[in-house]
Structure 1
Amino acid sequence: MNIHFIAIGGSAMHNLAIALHNKGYRVTGSDDVIYEPSKSRLEAKGLLPDELGWFPDKINKNLDAIVLGMHAKLDNPELLKAQELDLKIYSYPEFLYEQSKHKTRVVIGGSHGKTTITAMILHVMHYHDRAVDYMIGAQLDGFDVMVKLTDENDFIVLEGDEYLSSPIDRRPKFHLYKPNIALLSGIAWDHINVFPTYENYVEQFSVFIDSIVNGGSITYNEEDVEVVRVVEASENPIRKIPYNTPQYSVEGGQTLLETPEGDLPIEIFGKHNLNNLAGAKWICQHMGIDEDDFYEAISTFKGASKRLEKIAENETSVAYKDFAHAPSKVKATTNAVKAQYPNRRLIACLELHTYSSLNAEFLKAYKGSLNAADVAVVFYSPQAVDIKKLEPVTQEQIANAFQRDDIIIYTNPEDFKAFLFAQNLNNTVLLLMSSGDYGGLDFDDLKSLVK
C-alpha cells in the first residue's frame, strides 16, 4: 500500500509511519516542523521529508490512503488536495483500527496511569516472549519502536488517549478502537480546551465503555468513585471486573509487594503505581499470562520513560523526572515520592505547561497537590500563556490555587535553573514534574547536582 502522512513529524504519527514502513508499506509524508527524536528516527528509515512544508503535488490518485495528524490545520494545502481527489483520509486511531480489526484489541483508558499500565503489560509479554502488536505513548526499555503492526499477531495492546483524533474528526481517539478487552484506570478532568465542562469530559468515558464489543470486558479501578459510577451506569452487555490496590510495604526505600508466595521486591513505587500494577495483572491474565508468571516478570519492570524516571542518584540524594501535570497526577506522584523517602527532604518542582494548567479557573484544582513536599516550586512561562492565547495568569493566582504560603514561583527559566543549582541536595529527593522542559532545562545537567 502507498500511504502518505500529513504531519508526519508528530510523536504518534512518526511512530505509526515507521511501523508501516517496517511492515513493508510505501510511506511518504510532510510537515512544516519536525523536532527530535522524530527527525532522527524518520531519517534512519529514509522517511524524513526532503524539505519542510506542505506540497499538494505529493497528493495523487496513486495513494491508497492519507493519515492526517492533529498538527495539520483545516486549510492545509495537502488536505484540501486529498479532499478534492476524494482520497480515503484516516485519522491516526482510525488507521490503527483498520490495521487491527481482525485482532483481539486490548485498550487501556483513563485520565492517568494508562501509559504505565500499557507499559507493564508489554513488559510482561516481552519478558515471556509473547509477541503482540501495540501502540504506546512512551519509549520502553527493550522496545525499538512505540508502534508495532504485523499480520500474524493475535493481540494488539493500545494506549487509549481521550484527546481528539484529527482536525476533521473531533472524536476522542479511544472511541474508535472498539476494544474486546478494556481497562479504565481513573477519571480526573483534563483537556479543558476541548472538554470545557467536567460533565462533558466524563461523558467521553461513558462512550468508551459503550464502544466495547458485545461479550467483551471492562476491568476498572474500583477505588475511583467516578469510574465506578460510569461503569455501573453502562448497559453494554460486557463483563465488569473491578480491581484495587494490592497490599504492599516499604522497607529501607524498597517496595515489597505482597503475593501468595510471599513479599516480592519490585522496582516501581507509590500507591498509584501499585494500583496500576493490579490493573495490568488482570489484563495480562485475560491475555493468557498466569499470576505467578506475571509476578516474575513485573518484578523487573522499571517504568516507562518520563514516568517517575530516575535521572541521578547517590547515597544521600536522588532526582526524578515525571510527566505529571494534571492535578491528580501531581498529587499522586508527590505523595508517592514522599512515602518512598519519608526521612528525606522533598523538593517538588512543577511546570504549568498545558492549556488546562495555565487556565486561571482550572488552577483551583491544584489545591493541596504539592502538600507532601517540603519545598514546593512552581514554574510557568508567561510567553507560553501568550502563545496559547490564554488570559494572563498571575503569581498571586498560582499561590492562591495551591494554598501554600511558602510556595516558590518562577517565571524566568534562568532564575529557576539558578535556584536548582544553588540547592544542597544532601539527604534530599528532587522531583521535576512537567510535560515540558522548564523553558529549556537540560536534564542531563542535573546529574552534576547528584554526584
Structure 2
Amino acid sequence: MKTHFIAIGGSAMHNLAIALKDKGYQITGSDDAIFEPSRTRLEKRGILPEELGWFPEKITSDLDAVILGMHAHQDNPELAKAKELGLKIYSYPEFLYEQSKNKTRVVIAGSHGKTTITSMILHVLNFHQKDVDYMVGAQLEGFDCMVKLTRENDFMVFEGDEYLSSPIDLRSKFLLYQPNIALMSGIAWDHINVFKTFDDYVDQFRKFVASITPGGILVYNEEDPEVVKVVENAENYFRKIPYKTPEYEISNGKVHLKTEMGDVPLSVFGAHNLLNLEGARHICHTLGIMDEDFYEAIMSFKGASKRLEKVEREDQGILYKDFAHAPSKVKAAVKAFCEQFKNETKYGFLELHTYSSLNPVFLEQYDHAMDGLEEAFVFYSEDALKIKRMEPISPDLIKEKFKNQNLRVFTNAEELHAYWETLDKTHGVYLMMSSGNFGGLDLTK
C-alpha cells in the first residue's frame, strides 16, 4: 500500500509512518520542520524527506492513502493536490481505526493520566509477552516505536486524545476509535483555544462514552465527580467498572501498595499514579491478566517518559521532570512530590507556555497549584506571548491567580537561567514541570 504523510515529522505521525514501513507499506512524506528524535528515527528507516517543505508533485494518483497531520494547515498545497485528485485523505486517528476495525479496541481517555495508564498496560502486557497492537504518546522503556500495527494481533490499545483530529476534521481524536473497552481517568478543562467553555469540553467525553460499542466495557474513576456524572447520564448499553485510589504506604522512601497478596513495592510514587495503576489493573484484567501477574509486572514500571521522571544529574542532586502544564496535572504532581519528600526542602518550577495556560481567564484554574512547596517559581516568556499575539501578563496577576504571594515569577529565560545557576542542587529536591524546556535549561547540570 502506497501512503503519503503530510506533516510526517510530528511525534505521533512519525511513529505511525515507521509502523507502516515495518508493516511493508511504501511510505513517503513531507514537512516544513522536523526535530529530534523524529528526524533521526525517520532517517534510520529511510523515510526522512530529502528536503523540508511542501511539494505537490509528491501527490500522485497512484497513492492509496494520504494521512494529514495537525501541524499542516487547511491551505497546504499537498492537501489541495490530494483533494484535486480525489484521493482518500485520512486523519491520524481515522487511519488508526481503519487499521484496527477488525480488532478489539481498548481506548484510554481522560484529561490527565491517560499516557501513564496506557504505558502501564503496555508494560504489563510486554512483561508477560502478550502481543498487542498499540498507540501511545510517550516513549516507553523497552519499546522502540510507540505505534505497532500488525495483521495478526487481536487487540489494539490506544491512548485516546480529546484534541482535534486534523485541520479538516475537527472531531476529537478519540471519537473515531469506537472502543470495545474504554477507560476514563478524569475530566478537567483543557485546550480552551478549541473548547471555549467547560461544558463544550465535557461534551467530548459524553460523545466518547456514547461511542463505546454496544455491550462494551467502561472502566472509570469514581473519585472524579465529572466522570461519574458523564457515566451516570450515558444512555447507551455497556458494562461499568469503577475504580478508586488503592491503599498504600510510604516506607523508607518507597511506595508499597497494600493488596490481598501482601505489600507490593513500586518504582513510582504519588496518589495520582496509584489511581492510574488501579485503572490499568482493571483494564489488564479484562484482557486476561490476573491480579497476581499484574502486580508482578508493575513492580518494575518506572513511569512514562516525562511523568515524574528522575533526571540523572552530574552532581547527584535529586530532580524530577514532569510534563505537567494543565492545572489538574500540576496539582497532582506537586501533591505527589510533597508527599514523597515531606522532610526535604522542595523547589518547584512551572513553565506556562500553552495557549490555555497563558489565558488570564484560564489562569484561575491554577489556584493553590503550587502550595506545599517551600520554594515555588513560575516562568513564562513575554516573547512567547507576543508570538502568540496574546495580551501581556503581569507577574502580580500570576501570583493572584495562583493564590500564592510567595511565588517568584520569571518572564525572561536568561534571568531564570542565571538564578538556576545560583542554586546548590545537592540541597533540597527539585520538581520541574513543563511541556517545553524552560527556554533551553539543561536539567542535568
Same fold (TM over 0.5): yes
Could you tell me how far apart the structure 2 residues matched to 1:422 and 1:314 are? 16
Which segments of 5 or more consecutive residues in structure 1 lack a partner in the other structure?
446-451
Are the counterparts in 2 of residues 316 and 427 from structure 1 also a CA contact under 8 Å? no
Once the two structures are overlaid, the 10-residue window that deviates more, 359-368 or 423-432, is 423-432
SS in 1 for 2:203: helix
Q: How does 1:343-358 map to 2 (within 5 A)?
A: 343-358=343-358
SS in 2 for 1:33: coil
Partner of 1:88: 88
Deviations 1:205-241 (A, max 9, x none): 0000000000101100000000000011001100011
Are the counterparts in 2 of residues 134 and 148 from structure 1 also a CA contact under 8 Å? yes
Partner of 2:407: 407
SS in 1 for 2:312: strand
Deviation at 1:314, TM superposition (A): 9.6
Q: How many residues align?
A: 445
> Is 1:306 paired with 2:306?
yes
Deviation at 1:391, TM superposition (A): 1.9
Partner of 2:380: 380
Partner of 1:200: 200
Aligned CA distance change for structure 1 residues 315 and 89 (closer, same or farther; 3 Å): closer
Are the counterparts in 1 of residues 369 and 402 from structure 2 also a CA contact under 8 Å? yes
Could you tell me how far apart the structure 2 residues matched to 1:426 and 1:150 are? 47
Are the counterparts in 1 of residues 72 and 167 from structure 2 also a CA contact under 8 Å? yes
Partner of 1:337: 337
Partner of 2:249: 249
Are the counterparts in 2 of residues 116 and 307 from structure 1 also a CA contact under 8 Å? yes
Partner of 1:129: 129
Could you tell me how far apart the structure 2 residues matched to 1:43 and 1:427 are? 42
Partner of 1:25: 25
Partner of 1:389: 389
Could you tell me how far apart the structure 2 residues matched to 1:383 and 1:223 are? 40
SS in 1 for 2:369: coil
Deviation at 1:414, TM superposition (A): 1.8
Could you tell me how far apart the structure 2 residues matched to 1:135 and 1:167 are? 21
Partner of 2:158: 158
Give the AA of the match of 1:40: T
Which segments of 5 or more consecutive residues in structure 2 lack a partner in the other structure?
none
Are the counterparts in 2 of residues 13 and 92 from structure 1 also a CA contact under 8 Å? yes
Partner of 2:50: 50
Are the counterparts in 1 of residues 209 and 234 from structure 2 also a CA contact under 8 Å? yes
What's the Cα RMSD here?
1.1
Partner of 1:434: 434
Deviation at 1:441, TM superposition (A): 1.4
Could you tell me how far apart the structure 1 residues matched to 2:4 and 2:406 are? 53
Are the counterparts in 2 of residues 189 and 201 from structure 1 also a CA contact under 8 Å? yes
TM-score (norm 1): 0.97
SS in 1 for 2:118: helix
Deviation at 1:444, TM superposition (A): 2.8
Give the AA of the match of 2:337: V
Are the counterparts in 2 of residues 6 and 67 from structure 1 also a CA contact under 8 Å? yes
SS in 2 for 1:312: coil
Partner of 2:35: 35
Runs of 4+ displaced beyond 6 Å? 313-316
Are the counterparts in 2 of residues 185 and 276 from structure 1 also a CA contact under 8 Å? yes
TM-score (norm 2): 0.98
Deviation at 1:405, TM superposition (A): 1.4
Could you tell me how far apart the structure 2 residues matched to 1:314 and 1:417 are? 17
Give the AA of the match of 2:178: K
SS in 2 for 1:331: helix
Once the two structures are overlaid, the 10-residue window that deviates more, 425-434 or 183-192, is 425-434
SS in 2 for 1:240: strand
Q: How does 1:66-85 map to 2 (within 5 A)?
A: 66-85=66-85
Could you tell me how far apart the structure 2 residues matched to 1:15 and 1:55 are? 22
Are the counterparts in 2 of residues 74 and 167 from structure 1 also a CA contact under 8 Å? yes
Deviation at 1:425, TM superposition (A): 3.4
Give the AA of the match of 2:391: E
Aligned CA distance change for structure 1 residues 22 and 144 (closer, same or farther; 3 Å): same
Deviation at 1:424, TM superposition (A): 2.4
Could you tell me how far apart the structure 1 residues matched to 2:407 and 2:314 are? 27
Once the two structures are overlaid, the 10-residue window that deviates more, 260-269 or 88-97, is 260-269
